[in-house]
Amino acid sequence: MLADLLPEVSDAELEQFRQIMLTQYGLDFSGYAPASLKRRLGSVMKKYGLPTLALLNHRLLTQPEYIKYFINEITVSTTELFRDPPAWVALRLQALSFFSSLAEIRIWHVGASTGEEVLSMAILLQESNLYERAQIYATDIDEVSLEKAQSARYPIRLKRLYKQNFHQVFPTIPFEKYVQEEGNELVFDKTLLKNVRFLKHNIVTEAPFEEFEIILCRNLLIYFTPALQDLVVTKLVESLVTGGILMIGTKESLFWCTAAKRLAAINDVERIYRKRR
């Protein structure tokens, strides 16, 4: 197995890493699940031929320009267009109608990564005749991923998967309505991003935004300890208007979260919740 081939990370080295990230860069990794964090660090160490985390820690201390690219490597950027299609169908059919009479719909993508989720939402809004009313915030701690998101360009090898996902949500609409091929890339219609603001933001350590109708925080909580999950979900719920929608990943749970009592399930299978009035 790949994990067996990764360099080992001791608890002492991990604690030193956490202290460096906090004191040097203001990034708090104390709430990240240790096993997951060790695997990610091991992958970075293997890539750079560093047999111990102490050597990676030294690089972080002595080469501050490296941090931008390190964050891109250490964070998990697994995403895709309309990931978990049934969840997007449920959001479209069971939740968007709550906001059809509003003049403005504010949406926050937490952990926006390389932007496929943002494009999914933009297409969903466009097909629901709601896009022109939307103000979308896409945030992440990873600047490299945010730069990719703003380009709306992806490898052509992803076409088959993205097209399959798209047609599960919109069976009768041609994929090419929003996507074109240019060389070895899929290029999305840039007008889908005209109402999107991409911002570097750390949901763990920074204050949340306020007054959103819809917040998506999908497949991020699974990398946190239960205590940090509780903290983050509390921030998200406080950022929702009454009646606002929170959507998390289909493999995630609000079990640990005290703020869950302020939410009512719209679709518990697809992890879509509404803030109680």
Mean pLDDT of 56-70: 91
What value does the mean pLDDT take over residues 52-61? 92
Contacts of 186 (CB under 8 A, 6+ apart): 153, 154, 155, 156, 158, 159, 162, 179, 180
pLDDT of residue 4: 56
Beta strands at 185-188 and 272-275: parallel, antiparallel or unpaired = unpaired
Instruction: State which amino acid sits at residue 37.
Output: L
pLDDT in tens, 233-271: 999 999 999 999 999 999 999 988 999 999 999 999 999
Higher pLDDT, 76 or 252: 252
Confidence of residue 3 (pLDDT cuts 50, 70, 90): very low
Q: What percent of the chain has pLDDT over 90?
A: 85
Please provide the CATH number assigned to the domain covering 2-74: 1.10.155
Only one residue has tokens 């204050």, namely 207
Distance between CA atoms of residues 202 and 58, nearest Å:
24
85-275 and 2-74 share a CATH fold:
no
Structure tokens at 33: 């699940």
Mean pLDDT of the chain: 94
Residue 221 burial (10 A CB sphere; 0-12, 13-18, 19+): buried
- Output 81 or 7, whichever has higher pLDDT: 81
Helices 85-94 and 116-127, axial angle in degrees (round to 10): 40
Does the domain made of 85-275 have the CATH classification 3.40.50.150?
A: yes
Where do the DSSP E strands lie in 227-277? 240-248, 263-267, 272-275
Condensed to tens digits (0 to 9), the pLDDT of residues 130-178 reads 999 999 999 999 999 999 999 999 999 999 999 999 999 999 999 999 9
Q: What is the pTM of this model?
A: 0.89
- The domain segmentation of the chain, as residue ranges, is 2-74, 85-275
